[in-house]
Amino acid sequence: MRVFNAALLAFMAVTALASPGPNRPSVKCHPKQPSRPFPHSPPRNPKRICTVLAETADAGPSILAAARKCNHGGTVYFPPGKTYTIATVLDLTFLANIDFAILGNIKFKDDLTYWQAHAFQYSFQSASLFWRFGGRDVNIYGLGTGSIDGLGDTWWAAWATNSSVARPILFGTDGLHGATISGLKLINPPNWFNFISNSSEVIISDMNLSAISKNASVAVKNSDGWDTYRSSNIVIQNSVIHNTDDCVSFKPNSTEIIVQNLRCTGSHGISVGSLGQYQGEFDIVENIHVYNISMSNATDGARIKIWPGVAPGTVGSTVGGGAGRVKNITYEKYTNINNDQVIALTQCYATSNTTLCALYPSEIIVKDVIFNDFVGVMSKKYDPIAGYLICSV
């Protein structure tokens, strides 16, 4: 009976085509342009609108069916005013020439037992995903109306009593090439907001990210705005983020990335890294331009964080010792408002023992880093020190 119900819901989802979908927004990079042009996305067929039904305990099967039905030229439509609960993992990595018009409200069922057992797992920093998008020529947009809610309070409270709770990331890409993601409200992720992995030619624009606990005794945990990983030619722009961890973090093998026109509040700054955490890995972050940022009430403004080396024979692959390079990083036109530190660069990340760090220096080379046109007034926490530079050699 459960199989029949899922199939029936999927059929209903892709046959409810009564109303036309909205017009896709035009998303352009401005003012900084990527090093190579993004591919053109042709218009979708206005007669191929797959409307997802909201009146189900789990919208996942309906979304999957709509994506398959409207792949190669159509639009998956979530009408405004509707709420969609996703209760099972959703793999959307097969997409081609398709739009997702998310004007309704999506939330993920706060079933900690299910998600910890079934979320898509990644070895890097134990990342996991509720759902993931991949493929070519994909546009995902909310027009400032659509929202995605991770019901983070439940997860943060659980983590406070058990730090082994594996908390999924709210939104993820895996193998997404030639795409736009725009106009969405992302709310209270259990972990990071976004994990952009194994992707290229993606523009992310006009987003509103907010992680605020409803319970004063429960702290928001690990609410990074965007983490890029093994991805190239990414633009993140024109967005507002209120969180408690990195506003943007360039994880290993992030290259050719522009971050511009962001307003970040309460974060740990815009960070390169952390890098060098895994022995046997070669991490690269290069050709990054961070431009026109307003950073307020943060621990740091601009940050580079690198793990030190390890003693020969050290057991464990996640304790530092990885190699790599950081090159051609520019932070430009940066407004700091009540931040504890304006600039922070360390090759001794995750250790307070600088003597040991000097004995086993980092295997990651840092060069050609520019901090230009920084203004503002920092907090008094470390006054008069405005930042630090800690090299392991």
What digits encode the pLDDT tens for the residues 335-388?
999 999 999 999 999 888 888 899 999 999 999 999 999 999 999 999 999 999
Q: Which whole number is the average pLDDT over 287-316?
A: 94
Work out the pLDDT band at 16, boundaries 50, 70, 90.
very low
Q: How far apart are CA 306 and CA 311, in angstroms?
A: 16
Inform me whether the pLDDT recorded for 8 exceeds 60: no
Q: Which whole number is the average pLDDT over 98-104?
A: 98
The answer to whether 181 and 140 are in contact (CB under 8 A) is: yes
Tokens of 48: 């191929």
Q: How far apart are CA 373 and CA 344, in angstroms?
A: 16
- Locate tokens 């069922």: which residue? 109
Residues β-bridged to residue 265: 242, 296
Residues β-bridged to residue 133: 92, 173
HSE, side-chain direction, 13 A CA sphere, residue 392? 28
Inform me whether the pLDDT recorded for 4 exceeds 90: no
Work out the pLDDT band at 160, boundaries 50, 70, 90.
very high
User: Does the structural domain 1-204 have CATH classification 3.40.50.360?
Assistant: no
Residue 19 has a pLDDT of 53
Short-list 311, 306, 304, 305, CA closest to 356: 311
Short-list 131, 133, 178, CA closest to 150: 131
Q: Which whole number is the average pLDDT over 308-318?
A: 83
Q: Which whole number is the average pLDDT over 323-346?
A: 98
The answer to whether 74 and 50 are in contact (CB under 8 A) is: yes
Residue 243 or residue 35, greater confidence: 243
8-34 b/e with 16+ CB inside 10 Å = b? ebbebbbebbeeebbebbebebeebeb
Query: Please, what is the average pLDDT of the chain?
Result: 93
**Regarding the domain with residue range 246-393, which homologous superfamily does it belong to in the CATH classification?**
Single-stranded right-handed beta-helix, Pectin lyase-like (2.160.20.10)
- Same CATH topology for 1-204 and 246-393? yes
**Is this model's pTM higher than 0.85 or not?**
yes
- Of 8-22, 142-156, 351-365, the one with minimum mean pLDDT is 8-22
Q: For 103-198, where are the E strands, in sequence order?
A: 105-108, 120-121, 128-129, 131-141, 147-149, 171-182, 185-187, 194-197
Residue 248 carries which side chain, given as an amino acid letter?
V
Give burial (CB, 10 Å; 0-12/13-18/19+) of 342: buried
Domain spans in the chain, listed from the N-terminal domain onward: 1-204, 246-393
Q: Which whole number is the average pLDDT over 98-114?
A: 98
**Beta strands 226-229 and 194-197, pairing class:** parallel
Residues in the chain: 393
The answer to whether 34 and 258 are in contact (CB under 8 A) is: yes
Q: How far apart are CA 255 and CA 229, in angstroms?
A: 9
Q: How far apart are CA 179 and CA 308, in angstroms?
A: 36
- Locate tokens 């990335």: which residue? 257
Work out the pLDDT band at 22, boundaries 50, 70, 90.
confident
Active centre residues (catalytic): 268
CB atoms within 10 A of CB 315: 7
Q: Which whole number is the average pLDDT over 132-156?
A: 98
The answer to whether 246 and 271 are in contact (CB under 8 A) is: yes
Residue 299 has a pLDDT of 97
Work out the pLDDT band at 2, boundaries 50, 70, 90.
very low
Q: What is the pLDDT of residues 170-187, one digit of tens each?
A: 999 999 999 999 999 999
Q: What is the pLDDT of residues 259-276, one digit of tens each?
A: 999 999 999 999 999 999
The answer to whether 194 and 172 are in contact (CB under 8 A) is: yes
- Residue 208 has phi, psi (to 5 degrees) of -130, 110
Helix (H) or strand (E) run with residue 6 in it? helix 2-15
Residue 145 Ramachandran class (φ > 0 left, ψ -120 to 50 alpha, else beta): alpha
